[in-house]
Structure formats: structure tokens, C-alpha cells
Amino acid sequence: MTPANRFIELLTKVPLFSACTKKEIDLIDRRTETVNVGAGKVLITEGAAGAEFFIIVTGAATVSRHGQEVAQLGPGDFFGDLALLDRAPRNATVTTTTPSELVVLGQREFAGLVDEVPGFANKLLAGLAHRLREYDAQSVQ
């Protein structure tokens, strides 16, 4: 499997992109970059404006809110997807706990794709609705 195929597979698992075609996922993939970071790297900071989306390819990270760890992330996990849609303050801090390889998509690159591909925004809205339905189902349980 080539790295490009690996990232496409990871991107298809992101609820925001759930309504996208394979061609659209490929276009998203082409705008990503791969970043390698060491353990202890703060990737996003609670309260700071968001501008990137991340997928963990290898490695691990912790998620904390108000200084308390609330989750652990590993390969295939993603965070920051809503930052692609707006620059609202991050609601958590994410810090790597091991050396990690990440796929990163910036808001600027993503916005260019939304502007260039007709109908892409509608697919994102469908994906966002899917994500909200999942969240709603989890909160009811």
C-alpha cells in the first residue's frame, strides 16, 4: 500500500468527509502534508484559534481540558476537523506522548478546495449532519 492510499483510507473514516466521493477524498488527500513530531509536542492548545485538522498515522497523544486528561488517541484517530469550517477556539489541548507521524490539512488549503469544487460544500454539510447525529446518539445513551 502506498502512503497516498493509506491517507485516503484514513480520510474516508472522518465523519465530516463521509458524503464525499473517492475523487473528492483524493483531492483532499493531495492538499494534506505529513508531519513527524517527537513526544511532548503540543499540537493544539485549548482556547487558541483552530486552523488545522490532524490524523494520527503512527504514535499517540493525550487530550486534556482544563488541565485534566480526558482521552488518549492513537493511529487512525483524528481531531480538529471543525477547525476546517471555522476558527473558533479549540476546546482541548492535544499533546503527543510518543514520536508521531501525522497527516495535517490546513484551513486555507481546505477552503481552496471548497471554492474550486462545485457541490463540495453540500457534501460537507451532509458529513457535518452525520457527525452531529452520531454525537446526539452518544449523548442520549
pLDDT band of 1, cuts 50, 70, 90: very low
How many distinct structural domains can be found in the chain?
Answer: 1
Question: What mean pLDDT comes out for the span 17-37?
Answer: 90
**Residue 54, strand partner residues:** 79, 104
- Mean pLDDT, the chain, whole residue set: 88
Give yes or no for residue 3 having a pLDDT over 60: no
Structural domain that includes position 7: 3-140
CATH number of domain containing 136: 2.60.120.10
Query: How would you label 109-137 residue by residue, b for 16+ Cβ within 10 Å and e otherwise?
Result: bbeebeeeeeebeebbeebbeebeeeeee
pLDDT in tens, 89-117: 999 999 999 999 999 999 999 888 888 88
